[in-house]
């Protein structure tokens, strides 16, 4: 067993066992609610009396509450336990190069209000001012949702965990940008910031609740850019500088098209939405001004054209699908996950591109079993980035710290 870095380890105290049991109980209630005390005791493998003490403490702290009663063949009817999200909410923000999306959830990630969006302002100060104004307006409109516990923000770039600084977001033109603290100061609530690929992986962990989620999986999100989140042993992989998983900037071909990061031939430069649209129009849309009809065409529009019989649109999608599969081959060879999740606009054409993606994966995978790694599509309607942003705030109440 490898030693853990000292800066990430807490020394055990008398209260450590109690704290761990609280977090275990909270996670089990969250993933199994509604749940009775008796069932919680069975899941935790402990005495009913000890569970009652723990549950009473959590109720007193307003972490959980008792709700409806259930049926019982004999004896007293059980009273079900729930995570107490009443009068508390989280604001989730998904920043993309073209638009920024905002959603309000409860503490377990359930959507409480309609998702809103606005054009992304590239100037950092103006963006922060506009975002905080909108968040304040949304919270003012929904006072019935209670107190905001925090704001989670995801960005298409690399983030320094300790400071919340955006180190590099090439598609936004941001580098070395302090984003977290100005937003927190303007809103007066805690703010958490994370890379979009990692946030999607966290959302998958959070949504699955630990019940059936694989312990080793990769999440690939294809949109304006390409993000990758990796989970190994049930833990999100961050690396020493929180940039682990940046497969989008691993080159498929060093002589390939220029990527937003400045390098050439990156995987992202072959499979992003802009790459797919550039392929359709036969020229790099990053270079020079484009006509309004070209600029307004989306990947969803392209998919509609492909379904309508536009052969050039279908060819562009299939070319992207091949590159997507080839890149997945490198990811699978490096990580050997038990599952791959893919999200993004292009997945709405999965029935058209699945065979091509799987063929590309099989071509590059080192073994036949690796080439057959299961792939699951995460629909855009599930808002994985926004749910990941919400989980950044909410999950801290349920996470287990390392102890020694």
Please report, in tens digits, the pLDDT of each residue of the chain (404 residues total).
343 444 444 544 555 677 778 878 887 877 777 888 888 888 888 888 888 888 888 888 877 788 766 555 555 677 888 877 777 899 999 999 999 999 999 887 888 889 999 999 999 999 999 999 999 999 999 888 888 989 999 999 999 988 999 999 999 999 999 999 999 999 999 999 999 999 999 988 876 555 567 889 999 999 999 999 999 998 899 999 899 999 999 999 999 999 988 999 999 999 999 999 999 999 888 776 667 777 789 999 999 999 999 999 999 999 999 999 999 999 999 999 999 999 999 999 999 999 999 999 999 999 999 999 999 999 988 899 999 999 998 776 665 443 33
| H or E element, residue 173 | none
Q: Which two tokens stand for residue 81?
A: 């336990």
Same CATH fold assignment for domains 88-202+386-397 and 246-373:
yes
Model pLDDT, residue 360: 97
Q: Which two tokens stand for residue 296?
A: 């307004």
* CB proximity list for 247: less than 8 A, separation 6 or greater: 226, 228, 267, 327, 330, 331, 334
* Cα four-point dihedral sign 340, 346, 351, 355: negative
* 99-to-64, 95, 116, 155, 224 alpha-carbon distances in Å: 36, 7, 10, 12, 10
Q: What is the DSSP secondary structure assignment for residue 12, as one 8-state letter?
A: P
Q: What are the structural domain ranges in the chain? A: 6-84, 88-202+386-397, 246-373
Q: Which fold has domain 6-84?
A: Arc Repressor Mutant, subunit A (1.10.10)
Region label for 12, one of left (φ > 0), alpha (ψ between -120 and 50) or beta (otherwise): beta
Give CA–CA dist 28/215, Å, rounded. Answer: 17
Model pLDDT, residue 82: 81
Residue labelled with tokens 């307003």:
62
Please return the burial class of 367, using the count of CB atoms within 10 Å of its CB with bins 0-12, 13-18 and 19+.
exposed
Return the axis-axis angle of helices 311-335 and 350-364, rounded to nearest 10°: 40
Domain 246-373, second-level architecture = 2-Layer Sandwich (3.30)
Q: Specify the CATH number for 88-202+386-397; select among 3.30.420.40, 3.40.50.300, 3.40.50.450, 3.40.50.10860.
A: 3.30.420.40
* CB proximity list for 115: less than 8 A, separation 6 or greater: 101, 102, 103, 383, 386
pTM: predicted TM-score of the whole model, two decimal places: 0.84
Cα angle: 241, vertex 104, 344; to 5 degrees: 60
Whether 55 and 38 have beta carbons less than 8 Å apart is answered as: no
């Amino acid at each position: 067993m490898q030693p853990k870095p000292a800066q990430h380890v807490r020394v055990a105290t008398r209260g450590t066992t109690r704290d761990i049991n609280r977090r275990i109980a909270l996670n089990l209630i969250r993933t199994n609610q509604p749940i009775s005390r008796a069932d919680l005791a069975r899941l935790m493998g402990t005495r009913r009396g000890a569970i009652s003490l723990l549950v009473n403490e959590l109720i007193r702290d307003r972490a959980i509450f008792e709700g409806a009663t259930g049926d019982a063949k004999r004896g007293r009817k059980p009273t079900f336990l729930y995570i107490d999200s009443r009068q508390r909410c989280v604001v989730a923000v998904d920043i993309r190069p073209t638009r920024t999306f905002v959603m309000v959830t409860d503490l377990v990630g359930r959507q409480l209000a309609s998702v809103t969006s606005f054009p992304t302002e590239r100037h950092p100060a103006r963006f922060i001012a506009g975002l905080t104004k909108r968040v304040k307006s949304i919270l003012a409109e929904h006072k019935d949702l209670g107190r905001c516990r925090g704001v989670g923000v995801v960005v298409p770039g690399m983030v320094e965990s300790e400071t919340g600084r955006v180190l590099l977001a090439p598609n936004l033109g941001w580098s070395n940008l302090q984003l977290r603290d100005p937003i927190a100061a303007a809103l007066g609530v805690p703010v958490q910031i994370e890379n979009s690929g990692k946030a999607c992986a966290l959302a998958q962990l959070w949504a699955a609740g630990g019940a059936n989620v694989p312990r080793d999986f990769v999440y690939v999100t294809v949109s304006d850019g390409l993000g990758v989140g990796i989970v190994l042993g049930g833990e999100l992989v961050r690396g020493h500088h929180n940039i682990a998983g940046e497969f989008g900037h691993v080159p498929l071909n060093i002589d390939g098209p220029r990527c937003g990061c400045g390098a050439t031939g990156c995987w992202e430069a072959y499979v992003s939405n802009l790459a797919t649209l550039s392929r359709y129009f036969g020229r790099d849309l990053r270079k020079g001004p484009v006509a309004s009809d070209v600029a307004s065409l989306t990947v969803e529009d392209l998919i509609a054209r492909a379904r309508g019989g536009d052969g050039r649109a279908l060819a562009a999608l299939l070319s992207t699908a091949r590159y997507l599969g080839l890149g997945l081959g490198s990811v699978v060879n490096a990580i050997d996950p038990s599952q791959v999740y893919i999200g993004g606009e292009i997945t709405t054409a999965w029935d058209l591109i699945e065979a091509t993606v799987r063929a590309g994966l099989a071509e590059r995978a080192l073994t036949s079993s690796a080439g057959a790694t299961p792939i699951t599509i995460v629909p855009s309607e599930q808002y994985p980035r926004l749910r990941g942003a919400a989980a950044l705030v909410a999950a801290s109440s349920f996470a287990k710290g390392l102890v020694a």
